[in-house]
């Protein structure tokens, strides 16, 4: 994220610092809501382990993962501190319960993006990533639009990234709850390979600028962004 805009620092240091502040604020809010939603659904399904560990809270300090937050800040994708869940404590089918808990995080980000995008959809504010917003004369309206726009962006990015069906991302648990049991067993055996595949993709993007993740995330983020505000982000 910031690495794509690092040239902005030399051109407008004050503007870059304001952008940095808005960005940090945005990612803290998005990660906190995401991880809280995991804990909330886990408790509703009967597992109180996360609650006992202090994760059923909207305090960012309980949910932020240092490396995941830095990745989201500098690269544009990342993660929060995983919420501990005991599948055996869940009511009903534990595999489906884990899928519901996993899906709660991305769903909360999509719902939050929907609510925050309403001022843009209704024409109250101008979507900040357009030429019209850059030439706007009202600084307060511009600031509010920028904050809300960054929050919408990070919520959509965090949701789609976490729905990738690779461990340890939420999508790996979601898909296990959707596919037939025989196929789920195969996917479960492949889970240990997930972090390595994900890390390889990240390293290829970082060192060779392959933009694999942009190609994976872009269609989903743009589809939701167009639905919410009528504008693509990527």
The count of domains in the chain is: 1
> Is 49 a residue whose pLDDT tops 70?
yes
**Digit-coded pLDDT (tens) for 167-218:** 999 999 999 999 998 998 999 899 999 999 988 998 898 789 898 988 999 9
Task: Kindly state whether residue 73 falls inside one of the protein's structural domains.
Answer: yes
DSSP secondary structure string, 80-99?
Answer: -PPPP--GGGSSS-HHHHHH
Residue 168, preceding peptide bond in cis (omega within 30° of 0):
yes
**Digit-coded pLDDT (tens) for 110-157:** 999 999 999 999 989 888 876 455 545 667 787 888 889 989 998 999
* Location of structure tokens 């589809």: 223
> Who wins on pLDDT, 129 or 224?
224
**Digit-coded pLDDT (tens) for 144-173:** 888 899 899 989 998 999 999 999 999 999
List the one residue out of 143, 63, 153, 163 whose CA is nearest residue 116. Answer: 153
Task: Kindly state whether residue 98 falls inside one of the protein's structural domains.
Answer: yes
**Digit-coded pLDDT (tens) for 68-119:** 777 766 665 667 788 999 999 999 999 999 999 999 999 999 999 999 999 9
Q: Is 25 exposed, middle or buried (0-12, 13-18, 19+ CB in 10 A)?
A: middle
- Type and span of the H or E element at 46: none
Q: What is the pLDDT of residue 6?
A: 53
Residue span of the structural domain in which 99 resides:
3-229
Q: What is the pLDDT of residue 170?
A: 95
Task: Kindly state whether residue 234 falls inside one of the protein's structural domains.
Answer: no
Q: Is 224 exposed, middle or buried (0-12, 13-18, 19+ CB in 10 A)?
A: buried
């Amino acid at each position: 994220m910031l690495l794509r805009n690092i040239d902005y620092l030399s051109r407008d240091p004050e503007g870059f610092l304001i952008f940095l502040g808005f960005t940090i604020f945005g990612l803290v809010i998005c990660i906190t809501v995401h991880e809280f939603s995991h804990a909330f659904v886990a408790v509703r399904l009967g597992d109180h382990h996360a609650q006992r560990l202090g994760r059923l809270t909207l305090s960012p300090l309980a949910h932020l993962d240092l490396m995941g937050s830095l990745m989201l800040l500098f690269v544009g994708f990342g993660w929060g501190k995983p919420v501990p869940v005991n599948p055996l404590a869940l009511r009903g089918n534990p595999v489906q319960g884990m899928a519901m808990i996993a899906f709660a995080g991305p769903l909360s980000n999509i719902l939050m993006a929907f609510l925050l995008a309403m001022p843009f959809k209704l024409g109250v504010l101008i979507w900040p990533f357009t030429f019209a917003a850059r030439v706007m004369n009202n600084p307060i309206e511009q600031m509010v639009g920028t904050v809300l726009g960054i929050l919408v962006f990070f919520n959509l990015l965090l949701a789609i990234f976490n729905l990738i069906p690779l461990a340890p991302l939420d999508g790996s648990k979601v898909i296990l709850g959707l596919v037939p049991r025989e196929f789920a067993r195969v996917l479960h055996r492949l889970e240990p390979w997930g972090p390595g595949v994900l890390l390889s993709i990240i390293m290829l993007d970082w060192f060779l600028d392959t933009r694999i993740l942009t190609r994976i995330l872009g269609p989903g983020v743009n589809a939701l962004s167009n639905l919410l505000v009528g504008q693509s982000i990527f």
